[in-house]
Structure 1
Amino acid sequence: MQLAPDRIELALDEMQLVNETVPQGACVLELGCGKADKTRQIAQGGKASSILALEVDQIQHEKNLRITDLPNVRFALGGAEEIPAEDASFDIVMMFKSLHHVPVEKMDLALQEIRRVLKPGGLAYLSEPIFAGEYNDILRLFHNEEAVRQAAFEAIKRSVDSGQLNLVREVFFNATVRYQDFAQFDRAVLKVTHTSHVLSPELYEEVRTKFEQHMTPEGAVFKVPMRVDLLRKDAT
């Protein structure tokens, strides 16, 4: 396993990889579902028979509970380090850019919990942003995640090295992130409820200036380097 290659050539819509990975008729667990964007896409992809989508942020969870057009999705409050589900309940567990939000001292426990709730032969799909790129250069001005992203990778590697979960595939690709303008970035990133970003007026203007350097007539478009670790629980 490697944290990141020197160069990433593959450009990919991650949902293409997700749709290839989710088994037909799968019972899916999504950890850290956020605004449920990926939850919706998985549900509408037609392969999941049921989805349990967990979120630790109470404010966002309450918003998710108001979603009524996804009959095969159940939203619940909970985190990866203490999953409110029975042993061997899911065919696949998915985390999209959320393992590094688990407290570092609980990341190993989160991987143990994922293994516990997976059925024999079940898959863990762990998607994490790589600490690199122009978009990351903006984010690190007010929220430097280098240490926690490194810790998330090391927790995954320990899980594999110990034989707790088996590495099936590691995929590196560039995802595209688009914003119409800085106001959209402000709403989507600076004002999220799960993380408190308190920026001084000077830092706010620095972030705005750096962001607006990427503005075009079509908005700001970034290539974000990503890593997906696909792991499997032993079938026996």
Structure 2
Amino acid sequence: MSSSFYDILAKTELNYEDITCLRDMYIRLEDEINLLKEVFSGIPLDNKRILDIGTGQGFACKFLVDNSQDSLILTIDLDPLCLNRLRNIVGDKIGKIVFVRGDASNMPFLASNFFDIALAHYTLSQISVKKLPLALREICRVLRPGGLFIVTEGFGEGILDEARKLVIELEKIYEKIFGDEEADLDVLLSLIRKTPGLSISSIRKLNDGRLDPTVKDFANFLLSHTRDDELKTRICRIIDRGLKIGFREAPDYAVYIQKHEY
């Protein structure tokens, strides 16, 4: 881990739980930045109009801000907490970003054929399969002809070690609690191919699944959203096991999609 983490830590007054949380998020940030460097390798980001779909933790937008010059970057998310978190982490570069609270499946306030690049960094999996075609059509609409749409997602089971099986079990519990159906890789690719104006240029598998210490936050989220004692017991057992062996996410993929030239 970079020594800068400890430099920052030395200037703070935090308890053990806060320090552990901060450390895990710092690890995740470094991990995400390295992944995004690979995703955008060879893709110019200067003097571009870039749409960041789903602000989330803010990692992707921060990467875009830090690695572009004279670009307009617009980030959109339904959750105001995500937008505020990003405001806090970009510092004095906040002026490079337009913050919008909104739904990617309904963006009438954005002009057609406007953006050079659109990025959905672990966003499409948060949209229901029924709503996903609407979002894809909207993204296609706001991209300029010849524009690039990049999707990053974790798909498949990957390395089926115990650390990965724990996350698979958490995902099954999520479906039990919320009843949401997420698109797997085949479903997503099929929906993209059915979207008028979009063509898949290439698909890259980025890794075999990363160990992610922040998954325990997802487990705690599930724990706080169920009253089912049996599910609570299962989640607690998963957390205990994960603290010992870690949590491995699904393999990461980058899908590169082009909007047709007219």
Alignment length (residue pairs)? 215
Aligned residue type for 1:20: S
Q: Does 1:37 align with 2:37?
A: no
1:80 maps to: 104
Q: Which aligned pairs between 1:154-193 and structure 2 lie closer than 5 A? A: 154-161=187-194, 164-174=197-207, 175-179=209-213, 185-187=215-217, 190-191=220-221
Any residues of structure 2 matched to 1:35-184 within 5 Å, and which?
A: 35-46=57-68, 49-66=71-88, 68-70=91-93, 71-83=95-107, 84-133=109-158, 134=164, 136-144=167-175, 147-150=181-184, 153-161=186-194, 164-174=197-207, 175-179=209-213
Relative to structure 1, the CA distance from residue 111 to residue 223 in structure 2 (aligned partners, 3 Å threshold; closer, same or farther) is closer
> What residue ranges of structure 1 are gaps of 5+ in the alignment?
1-11
Secondary structure of the equivalent of 1:125?
A: strand
Q: Deviations over 1:144-201 (max 9, x none)?
A: 3884123x7535423325652111101123242431xxxx544455439xxx833645
Give 1:229 deviation, angstroms. Answer: 1.5
Per-residue displacement from partner, 1:42-69 (whole Å, max 9, x unpaired)?
Answer: 2112367121111112333344455543
Equivalent pair of 1:29/1:90 in contact (CA under 8 Å) = yes
Instruction: Choose which of 213, 219, 222 in structure 1 pairs with 2:248.
Output: 222
Letter in 2 for 1:77: R
Between the two structures, name the one with larger relative contact order (CA 8 Å, sep ≥ 6): 1
Query: Could you say which structure has the higher helix fraction?
Result: 2
Superposed CA RMSD in Å reads 3.0
Kept in 2, the 8 Å contact 1:43–1:51? The answer is yes
Cα deviation, residue 93, structure 1: 0.6
Amino-acid identity (%): 20
1:138·1:211 contact (CA, 8 Å) conserved in 2?
A: no
Residues 187, 154 of structure 1: CA spacing in aligned structure 2 closer, same or farther, 3 A cutoff? Answer: closer
Contact preservation (8 Å) 2:55, 2:86: no
Match of 1:197 among 202, 225, 245: 225
Structure 1 residues 21, 161: CA separation in 2 closer, same or farther (over 3 Å shift)? Answer: farther
Letter in structure 2 aligned against 1:225:
P
Q: What is the SS of the residue equivalent to 1:231?
A: strand
TM-score of the pair, normalised by structure 2:
0.69
**Equivalent residue of 1:159, what SS?**
helix
Partner of 2:26: none
- Aligned counterparts of 1:141 and 1:206: Cα–Cα separation in 2: 11
**CA gap 1:95/1:177 in 2 versus in 1, 3 angstroms:** farther
